[in-house]
Structure 1
Amino acid sequence: MPVVPEEHLSEVREELVKARRLGHRRLLVVMSDDDSRLVSATLDFLLEVRDLIAGDTLLYTYHAFYSDGAMRKEVFAKGAPRNVEVDFVSYHELDKILGRTYGACVADLVNNLEPNDLGRIMGVVRGGGLYILMMPSLRRLPEVVTRFQLNLVTPGYTVKDVRKLFERRFVEKLMVHDGIAVYDADSRVFLRKFTPSRAPPYERRPLVLPEKSKIPPRIYKLALTQDQVEVLKILERFYEKVEGRKLVFVLTADRGRGKSSALGIGVGWLAHRLRRAKGRCRIVLTAPSPLNVQEVFRFSRKVLEIYKHPLEVEDSEEGVMIALRSKGIDIEYLSPVEAARTRADILVVDEAASISVPLLFKIVEKHDKAIFSSTIHGYEGAGRGFSVRFLRRLRSEKDLEVLEYEMSEPIRYAPNDPIEAWIFDTLLLDAEPASLSGEDLKCVERLDVEYYKPDEDFFLRREDELRQFFGIYILSHYRNNPNDLGMIMNAPHHLARMLKTRTGKVVVSVELAVEGGRRFGDCARVREGRLDYGQYNTRQADQALQGA
Structure 2
Amino acid sequence: MAGAADAAIIALIAEARATRQRRGLIIAGDPEWTRAAAQEALAVGGLRETLWIIAPADAPIGVDSLDPADARNALGREADAVIVDLHAGLDPDALGAVGGVPRGGGLLVLLTPPVAAWPTRPDPARARLAVDPLDIEAVTGHFPARFAREWIGGWGVVILQQEHGFVRVSPSRTSAPDDPNVRVSPTRTSAFADPNVRVSSTRTSAPDDPNVRVSSTRTSAAIPERSSALVRVSPTRTSALADRAEPATDTDCLTADQAAAVAAVLRVARGRRRRPAVLTSDRGRGKSAALGIAVGRLLAEQPEKRRDILLVAPTLTAVGPVFAHAGRLLGARPAADGTLTGPGGTLRFAAPAELVGPLPEASLVLIDEAAALPLPLLSRLLAAPRVVFATTVHGYEGTGRGFAVRFRGLLDRETPGWRAVRLETPLRWAPNDPIEHTLFRALLLDATPAEGLPRLPGDVLPAARRARAELPGDGPALSALFGLLISA
TM-score, scaled to structure 1: 0.67
Partner of residue 436 from structure 1, selected from 440, 452, 456: 452
- Are 2:171 and 1:193 equivalent residues in the alignment? yes
Report how far residue 170 of structure 1 moved.
1.4
Alignment deviations for residues 55-103 of structure 1 (CA, whole Å, 9 cap, x no partner):
x4122332223xxx25xx24xx6xxxxxxxx534443444554322211
Match of 2:53 in 1: 61
Q: Note if contact 1:383-1:475 (Cα within 8 Å) is conserved in structure 2.
A: no
Match of 2:326 in 1: 300
Amino acid at match of 1:11: A
Unaligned runs of 5+ in 2: 176-213, 215-235
Partner of residue 297 from structure 2, selected from 264, 269, 283: 269
Match of 1:228 in 2: 258
Residues 297 and 379 (structure 1), Cα distance of their counterparts in 2 relative to 1, 3 Å cut:
farther
Task: State the SS of the aligned residue for 2:163.
Answer: coil
Match of 1:468 in 2: 480
- Are 2:288 and 1:260 equivalent residues in the alignment? yes
Match of 1:530 in 2: none
Task: State the SS of the aligned residue for 1:203.
Answer: helix
CA distance in 2, matches of 1:449, 1:144: 39
CA distance in 2, matches of 1:383, 1:97: 16
Task: State the SS of the aligned residue for 1:246.
Answer: coil
Residues 290 and 395 (structure 1), Cα distance of their counterparts in 2 relative to 1, 3 Å cut:
same
CA distance in 1, matches of 2:248, 2:427: 16
Task: State the SS of the aligned residue for 2:241.
Answer: coil
Match of 1:170 in 2: 147
CA distance in 1, matches of 2:379, 2:68: 35
Report how far residue 413 of structure 1 moved.
0.8
Residues 297 and 431 (structure 1), Cα distance of their counterparts in 2 relative to 1, 3 Å cut:
same
Partner of residue 107 from structure 2, selected from 112, 127, 130: 130
Residues 60 and 396 (structure 1), Cα distance of their counterparts in 2 relative to 1, 3 Å cut:
closer
Task: State the SS of the aligned residue for 1:171.
Answer: helix
Match of 1:367 in 2: 384
Residues 13 and 149 (structure 1), Cα distance of their counterparts in 2 relative to 1, 3 Å cut:
same
Report how far residue 173 of structure 1 moved.
0.8
Aligned pairs (5 A) from 1:205-244? 207-210=247-250, 220=252, 223-242=253-272
The structure whose residues are more often strand, as a share, is 1
- Are 2:466 and 1:454 equivalent residues in the alignment? yes
Match of 1:482 in 2: none
Q: Note if contact 1:375-1:381 (Cα within 8 Å) is conserved in structure 2.
A: no
Match of 1:280 in 2: 306
Aligned pairs (5 A) from 1:39-118? 39-50=35-46, 53=47, 56-65=48-57, 69-70=58-59, 73-74=60-61, 87-118=64-95
Match of 1:484 in 2: none
CA distance in 2, matches of 1:339, 1:266: 28
Report how far residue 361 of structure 1 moved.
5.3
Q: Note if contact 1:95-1:291 (Cα within 8 Å) is conserved in structure 2.
A: no
CA distance in 2, matches of 1:63, 1:358: 32
Report how far residue 263 of structure 1 moved.
0.8
Query: Across the two proteins, how many residue pairs are aligned to each other?
Result: 423
Residues 354 and 112 (structure 1), Cα distance of their counterparts in 2 relative to 1, 3 Å cut:
closer
Residues 194 and 381 (structure 1), Cα distance of their counterparts in 2 relative to 1, 3 Å cut:
farther
CA distance in 2, matches of 1:340, 1:349: 17
Q: Note if contact 2:371-2:400 (Cα within 8 Å) is conserved in structure 1.
A: no
CA distance in 2, matches of 1:142, 1:405: 40
Partner of residue 4 from structure 2, selected from 4, 7, 14: 7
Report how far residue 471 of structure 1 moved.
0.9
Report how far residue 382 of structure 1 moved.
4.0
Match of 2:370 in 1: 352
- Are 2:38 and 1:33 equivalent residues in the alignment? no
Unaligned runs of 5+ in 1: 78-85, 211-216, 315-320, 477-548
Aligned pairs (5 A) from 1:528-547? none
CA distance in 1, matches of 2:390, 2:254: 19
Report how far residue 299 of structure 1 moved.
3.3
Q: Note if contact 2:96-2:394 (Cα within 8 Å) is conserved in structure 1.
A: no
- Are 2:283 and 1:246 equivalent residues in the alignment? no
CA distance in 1, matches of 2:65, 2:24: 19
CA distance in 1, matches of 2:248, 2:81: 31
CA distance in 1, matches of 2:430, 2:99: 15
Match of 1:411 in 2: 427
Q: Note if contact 2:82-2:109 (Cα within 8 Å) is conserved in structure 1.
A: yes
Report how far residue 166 of structure 1 moved.
2.3
Q: Note if contact 1:29-1:134 (Cα within 8 Å) is conserved in structure 2.
A: yes
CA RMSD of aligned residues (A): 3.5
Alignment deviations for residues 445-482 of structure 1 (CA, whole Å, 9 cap, x no partner):
43463333332323322221121111121112xxxxxx
Report how far residue 46 of structure 1 moved.
3.6
Task: State the SS of the aligned residue for 2:462.
Answer: strand
Larger Rg: 1
- Are 2:346 and 1:329 equivalent residues in the alignment? yes
CA distance in 1, matches of 2:481, 2:342: 50
Q: Note if contact 2:268-2:276 (Cα within 8 Å) is conserved in structure 1.
A: no
Report how far residue 185 of structure 1 moved.
1.6
TM-score, scaled to structure 2: 0.74
Match of 1:148 in 2: 125
Alignment deviations for residues 108-133 of structure 1 (CA, whole Å, 9 cap, x no partner):
22233222222232211111212222
CA distance in 1, matches of 2:430, 2:320: 24
Partner of residue 438 from structure 2, selected from 422, 443, 466: 422
CA distance in 1, matches of 2:469, 2:309: 52
Match of 1:524 in 2: none
CA distance in 1, matches of 2:94, 2:406: 29
Q: Note if contact 1:324-1:332 (Cα within 8 Å) is conserved in structure 2.
A: no
Residues 159 and 40 (structure 1), Cα distance of their counterparts in 2 relative to 1, 3 Å cut:
same
CA distance in 2, matches of 1:158, 1:397: 44
- Are 2:1 and 1:24 equivalent residues in the alignment? no
CA distance in 2, matches of 1:280, 1:114: 45
CA distance in 2, matches of 1:395, 1:347: 19
CA distance in 2, matches of 1:143, 1:377: 27
Amino acid at match of 1:58: T
Report how far residue 367 of structure 1 moved.
3.2
Q: Note if contact 1:9-1:44 (Cα within 8 Å) is conserved in structure 2.
A: no
Q: Note if contact 1:227-1:407 (Cα within 8 Å) is conserved in structure 2.
A: yes
CA distance in 1, matches of 2:340, 2:128: 40
Task: Identify which range, 385-394 or 172-181, moves more after superposition.
Answer: 385-394
